[in-house]
C-alpha cells in the first residue's frame, strides 16, 4: 500500500477549476485566527454584557434580504456576523441564564465542532475512525449508567430524538407481533404508554408520530412532590387492560422539566417487571446526574431500564446538539431501524471503506450523521467524568442556596420542592388574588429579562404562574443568585406599587 497517492500528471482544465476553498489561504488563516480571538474575547467578557437583549427592528429586517448570487467573501460574511448576529444570541452561555433547561456550552466543545466539521466524516457507517469515537462515547455512557455490556446506543440531536428512538424500539419489540411490518393494528387494541402528567411534551410528539395517536399516551397523576403516583399508575394499567387496551411501556421521569422531580425508579422497574412492560427512563435532565454525589442515590433503579434517553447538551454542558439513547437489548434496537439496500450493503469483516463494525445508521432514523461524538469525546477527556459530577453538584447546591434566599424574604414564595437544580418561586406581596399575582409575575419576568440582569424562565403550577430558575450552567456563581433575588424584589416592589 502506498503511503501517499501518486503525483498528479497535470491537466490544463485544472486551471479553470473554481474551488470552494479559500483563494488565499494565508488571508483565510488570518481571518480564522481573528475569529478565534473574537470568540475568546466574547466569552471572557460575558459579565460585561446583558444576558440577553431584544433585536432592533432593523436587525430583524436584515434577515429578510435575498441570498447573494455573487461571492461576497468570507471577510464580508464574518463582518455581517459580527454586526448582526453576535450581539443578539439567546444568551445561554451567560452565567445568569437559567431559562427552560439548557446548557452553557464549553470552549473545547466548540473547538471540537470545528475540528469535526473539518474532517466532515459521515457517522452513518463505514470503516473510519469517527465510528470508533462514537462507539467509545456510547460505551462510556453505558458504563456511567451501569447498563450491561452488549447494550446498544446512539448519539442523537437531543432528548426528543432519544426518547422518540427508544419508544419506537419499545413499540416494535412489543409481544413478538412483528409490529414493524404489520403496524400498530397488530396489537389488537389501542397501544398505551404511561407517564406522569409532568412528562415532557416531546413524548406527545413521539406517540403521535409512532401512529398511536395522542390517546396512546396516558398521563398519570402526581404526588405533592410532582413524582408519579404509583397507585394511580397501577390502577390505570389494570383499568386499561380490562377495557381491551394494550399497555406496553412506562416512561419514568428522571428529572421532570417543570420542577426536576425524580420518579420512584425502583418502584416503576418492579411494576414493569410484574406487568411485562417496557421500562423507559426520560433522563434528559437527570441521567447524567449519576455523576453527581448529591443526586446519584435518587437515580437508583435507572440501571434496570430497558432504555434511557440522555441529554449531554444540558447539565453536561456539551454545545448543542448532543443527546443519546441507550437500549438494553441490542437486537431489538437494530431490528427496529436496520434497512439494508444494495447501496448500503456491507461486510463487517471485509476490506475497504464499507467494512467496519459500526453502522450507526442501523440504530436510528438518520443515515447521514454528523461527528457529534467528537465534542463529547474531547470534553470528557479534557475534564474527566468526576468534574462534570461536581458541576452538577454545585448547580444543585446553588438551587438550595437560592431556595434559602427566597425563604428569607416574606414577599417571595417557593412554589414547589426543589427537584435537582430547578427552583420555582414567585413574588407575592400577600394582598393579591391568583390572577393578579400571575399577571404581576409575568410582567416581572419580562422586565427582568429585558433588564439583561438575569434570564430565568417560567412555568405554571396548579394554575399559579411562577419564575422558574433551571440552573444548568457551569458558569453560575453563588453571587449571581444574590443579584437575582435583589432584582426580583426591586422589580416586584415597583410593579406592586403601581397596582
Ligand X SMILES: *Cc1c(COP(=O)(O)O)cnc(C)c1O
User: Which residues of the chain form contacts with ligand X (CB under 6 A)?
Assistant: 101, 158-160, 163, 200, 202, 255, 257, 282, 284-285, 311, 323
- Distances in Å between the alpha carbon of 262 and those of 8, 187, 287, 305? 62, 31, 10, 14
Backbone angles phi, psi at 157, to 5 degrees: -65, -30
Nearer to ligand X, 171 or 313 (CB): 313
Contact 199, 251 (CB under 8 A): yes
Strand segments (E) across 143-297:
152-156, 191-196, 217-220, 246-253, 278-283
Residue closer to ligand X by CB (options 315, 449) is 315
Minimum distance of ligand X from residue 77's CB (angstroms):
29
Instruction: Report in angstroms how near the CB of residue 341 gets to ligand X at its nearest.
Output: 29
Closer of 306 and 413 to ligand X (Cβ): 306
Q: Is 182 left (phi over 0), alpha (psi -120 to 50) or beta?
A: alpha
CB 264 → ligand X: shortest distance, Å? 16
- Cell 451501569, residue? 146
Instruction: Name which of 151 and 256 has its Cβ closer to ligand X.
Output: 256
Shortest reach from residue 282's CB to ligand X, in Å: 5
CA–CA distance, 116 with 105 (Å, rounded to integer): 16
To the nearest whole angstrom, how small is the minimum distance from the Cβ of residue 285 to ligand X? 4
The C-alpha atoms of residue 360 and residue 364 are separated, in whole angstroms, by: 7
Q: Between vectors from CA 332 to CA 326 and to CA 337, what angle results, nearest 5°?
A: 85
- Report the nearest approach of ligand X to the CB of residue 325 (Å): 11
Q: How far is the CB of 202 from ligand X (least distance, A)?
A: 5
> Closer CB to ligand X, residue 24 or residue 209?
209
- For residue 314, the minimal CB distance to ligand X (Å) is 6
Q: How far is the CB of 421 from ligand X (least distance, A)?
A: 12
CB 246 within 8 A of CB 172: no
Q: In angstroms, give the least distance from the CB of 22 to ligand X.
A: 35
Q: Considering beta carbons, is residue 202 or 217 the nearer one to ligand X?
A: 202
Q: In 25-158, which residue ranges form alpha helices assigned H by DSSP?
A: 25-44, 57-62, 74-80, 107-119, 129-144
Name the minimum Å distance from CB 262 to ligand X: 11
> C-alpha cell of 216?
396512546
Sheet containing 191-196: order of strands = 152-156, 323-327, 307-311, 278-283, 246-253, 191-196, 217-220
Closest CB 125 distance from ligand X, rounded Å:
24
Pick the closer one to ligand X by CB: 308 or 453. 308
When the beta carbons of 282 and 306 are compared against ligand X, the nearer one is: 282
Which triple of cell numbers denotes residue 238?
389494570
Give every CB contact of residue 86 below 8 A, 6+ residues apart in sequence.
Answer: 38, 42
Residue 459 to residue 419: CA distance in whole angstroms: 14
Q: For residues 125 and 301, which CB has a smaller minimum distance to ligand X in the complex?
A: 301
CB neighbour class for 311 (10 Å; exposed up to 12, middle 13-18, buried from 19) = buried
Number of H helices, E strands in the chain: 16, 12
Measured distance CA(200)–CA(491) in Å, rounded: 31
How many Å apart are CA 101 and CA 260, to the nearest integer? 10
Which of residues 285 and 488 has its CB atom nearest to ligand X in the complex? Answer: 285
Closer residue to ligand X in complex, CB, 106/428: 106
Cβ pair 280, 166 in contact under 8 A: yes
- By C-beta, is 307 or 428 nearer to ligand X? 307
Answer whether 236's CB lies under 8 Å from 194's CB.
yes
Amino acid at each position: 500500500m502506498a503511503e501517499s497517492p501518486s503525483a498528479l500528471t497535470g491537466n490544463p482544465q485544472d486551471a479553470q477549476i473554481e474551488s470552494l476553498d479559500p483563494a488565499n489561504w494565508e488571508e483565510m488563516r488570518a481571518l480564522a485566527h481573528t475569529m478565534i480571538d473574537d470568540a475568546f474575547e466574547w466569552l471572557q467578557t460575558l459579565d460585561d454584557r446583558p444576558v440577553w437583549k431584544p433585536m432592533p427592528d432593523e436587525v430583524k429586517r436584515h434577515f429578510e434580504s435575498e441570498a447573494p448570487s455573487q461571492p461576497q467573501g468570507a471577510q464580508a460574511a464574518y463582518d455581517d456576523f459580527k454586526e448582526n448576529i453576535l450581539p443578539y444570541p439567546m444568551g445561554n452561555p451567560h452565567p445568569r441564564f437559567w431559562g427552560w433547561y439548557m446548557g452553557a456550552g464549553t470552549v473545547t466543545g466548540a473547538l471540537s465542532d470545528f475540528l469535526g466539521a473539518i474532517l466532515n466524516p459521515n457517522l452513518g457507517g463505514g470503516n473510519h475512525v469517527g465510528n470508533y469515537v462514537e462507539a467509545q462515547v456510547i460505551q462510556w455512557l453505558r458504563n456511567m449508567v451501569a447498563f450491561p455490556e452488549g447494550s446498544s446506543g446512539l448519539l442523537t440531536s437531543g432528548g426528543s430524538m432519544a426518547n422518540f428512538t427508544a419508544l419506537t424500539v419499545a413499540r416494535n419489540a412489543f409481544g413478538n407481533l412483528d409490529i414493524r411490518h404489520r403496524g400498530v393494528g397488530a396489537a389488537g387494541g389501542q397501544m398505551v404508554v404511561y407517564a406522569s402528567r409532568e412528562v415532557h411534551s416531546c413524548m406527545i410528539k413521539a406517540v403521535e408520530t409512532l401512529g398511536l395517536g395522542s390517546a396512546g399516551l396516558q398521563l398519570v397523576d402526581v404526588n405533592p412532590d410532582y413524582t408519579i403516583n404509583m397507585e394511580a399508575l397501577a390502577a390505570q394499567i389494570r383499568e386499561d387492560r380490562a377495557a381491551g387496551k394494550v399497555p406496553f411501556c412506562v416512561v419514568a421521569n428522571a428529572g421532570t422539566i417543570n420542577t426536576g422531580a425524580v420518579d420512584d425508579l425502583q418502584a416503576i422497574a418492579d411494576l414493569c417487571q410484574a406487568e411485562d412492560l417496557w421500562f423507559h427512563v426520560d433522563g434528559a435532565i437527570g441521567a447524567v446526574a449519576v455523576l453527581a454525589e448529591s443526586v446519584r442515590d435518587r437515580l437508583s433503579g435507572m440501571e434496570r431500564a430497558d432504555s434511557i434517553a440522555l441529554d449531554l447538551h444540558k447539565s453536561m454542558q456539551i454545545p448543542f446538539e448532543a443527546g443519546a439513547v441507550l437500549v438494553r437489548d441490542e437486537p431489538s434496537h437494530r431490528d427496529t431501524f436496520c434497512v439494508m439496500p444494495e447501496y448500503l450493503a456491507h461486510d463487517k469483516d471485509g476490506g475497504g471503506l464499507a467494512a467496519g463494525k459500526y453502522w450507526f445508521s442501523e440504530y436510528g432514523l438518520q443515515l447521514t450523521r454528523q461527528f457529534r461524538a467528537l465534542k463529547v469525546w474531547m470534553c470528557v477527556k479534557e475534564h474527566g467524568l468526576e468534574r462534570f459530577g461536581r458541576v452538577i453538584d454545585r448547580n444543585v447546591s446553588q438551587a438550595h442556596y437560592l431556595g434559602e434566599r427566597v425563604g428569607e424574604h416574606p414577599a417571595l414564595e417557593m412554589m414547589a420542592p426543589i427537584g435537582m437544580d430547578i427552583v420555582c418561586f414567585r413574588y407575592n406581596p400577600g394582598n393579591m388574588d391568583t390572577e393578579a399575582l400571575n399577571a404581576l409575575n409575568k410582567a416581572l419576568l419580562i422586565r427582568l429579562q429585558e433588564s439583561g440582569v438575569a434570564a430565568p424562565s417560567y412555568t405554571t403550577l396548579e394554575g399559579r404562574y411562577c419564575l422558574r430558575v433551571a440552573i444548568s450552567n457551569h458558569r453560575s456563581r453563588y453571587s449571581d443568585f444574590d443579584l437575582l433575588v435583589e432584582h426580583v424584589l426591586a422589580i416586584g416592589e415597583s410593579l406592586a406599587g403601581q397596582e
